[in-house]
Homo-oligomer: A and B are copies of this chain.
C-alpha cells in the first residue's frame, strides 16, 4: 500500500509533526510506502512528490512550516480536477491521500472524495475557526506567541503612561485575540464577531489610565468599528496605493491618542504568530491527528477527517470541516469583558 500526504494553505506550527506521525506509523506499524506531495494540491496534479522515510521525518517534530511546501492551488480552478489527480495517483500507484489543510483544502478533499479519490483529512487552521473540532494545532502556538508579546508590552506601557494596541491574527474569528488577551491581562479585547464602539473603547482606556495602569488593547485584525467608519485591514492598499500595515490596530492607536490625549502606539504581530517551533500542546495534538489519520486510511474510512473532542481524537465527515465557521460566542466574550476597563 502506498499513501501520499500533502499540506495546503497557510503555514501553521505542527504541520511537520503530522507528516512525521503519518510517516513513522505508516511505514512502521503499517508497513506502507509513504510519499509526500509537494506544494499542496499542486503535488498530486503534477506528480511532484518525494518518498518519506524515518530519516526524513526524524528531525522535523520541532520545526515550524512544512517540509512539503504549501500552495493555494485548487485542482478544480487550476485545471484537471479529480480526473487528473486520479490519473496521477494511478500512475504513481498511490492508493490514498492524507490532506492536511484548512477550509479550502478540506473542501477540495471532500469533493475529490465524492469523485473517487481516497482521501482522509486533517484539519489545520491557526485561527481555530473550524466547527468540527474543539481545537486545531497551531492555535495554541499563535496564542502563546501573542501572549509573550503582550507580557513584554505591559512594562513599556506602564513605564511610559502610554496605551498600546496589539493587533493579532483573526480575519473572521476572534479566538486568538480572546485567548491571548485573556492570558495577557488585556484591558480591552476586540473581535470581528462584535463590532466595537470607539467611544466605549476610549472610555475603558481612560478609566484604566485613571487607575494608574497602562491599557493594553488586543484587537483581531478583522475587528471593525460599529459606527461604520471605514478601516482598512492590514495588507490592503489605501487610496494612494500604499499597502497598510496595522489596519485596525493603527486606526485604534490614532483614535485613542486623539480621544484620551495620551500617547498611543500600535504593534502588529503579523507573521511571527504562525512560524517557528510548535508548543508542546500543538505537537501532541498534531501527532495524534497524524496517527489517527493513518488508522482512518487503514480502515478505508475515506471522506472523514480527524477531530478533537474533549481529550479524544474522533473521525467526522469531511463535510463538517466546511459546514460552519466557529466564531466566538457571546458567552465566551462575556467572560473576558469582566476584565475590561
Contact = CB atoms under 8 A, between A and B. Distances in A.
Contact of A275 (B154, B242, B250): B154
A115 interface: no
Interface stretch (A83-91, A93-101, A195-203, A266-274): A266-274
A109 interface: no
A58 B214 CA distance: 11
Interface stretch (A44-52, A177-185, A219-227, A297-305): A177-185
Interface residues of A, number: 85
A316 B213 CA distance: 37
Contact of A152 (B135, B268, B272, B310): B272
Interface stretch (A73-81, A116-124, A282-290, A317-325): A282-290
Interface string A147-162: 1110111111111110
Contacts of A277: 151
Nearest to A25: B338
Nearest to A294: B338
Contact of A272 (B15, B184, B267, B271): B267
A146 B272 CA distance: 10
Contacts of A279: 144, 279, 281
A155 B267 contact: no
B250 A152 contact: no
Contacts of A280: 140, 143-144, 146-147, 179-180, 183-184
11 contacts: A61-B183, A65-B155, A134-B310, A148-B276, A149-B272, A238-B240, A243-B254, A245-B268, A265-B270, A266-B270, A291-B335
Interface of A: 10-11, 13, 15, 21, 24-25, 28-29, 54, 58, 61-66, 69-70, 134-135, 140, 143-149, 151-161, 164, 179-180, 182-185, 211, 213, 238, 240, 242-243, 245-246, 249-250, 253-254, 265-272, 274-277, 279-281, 283-284, 287-288, 291, 309-311, 335, 338-339
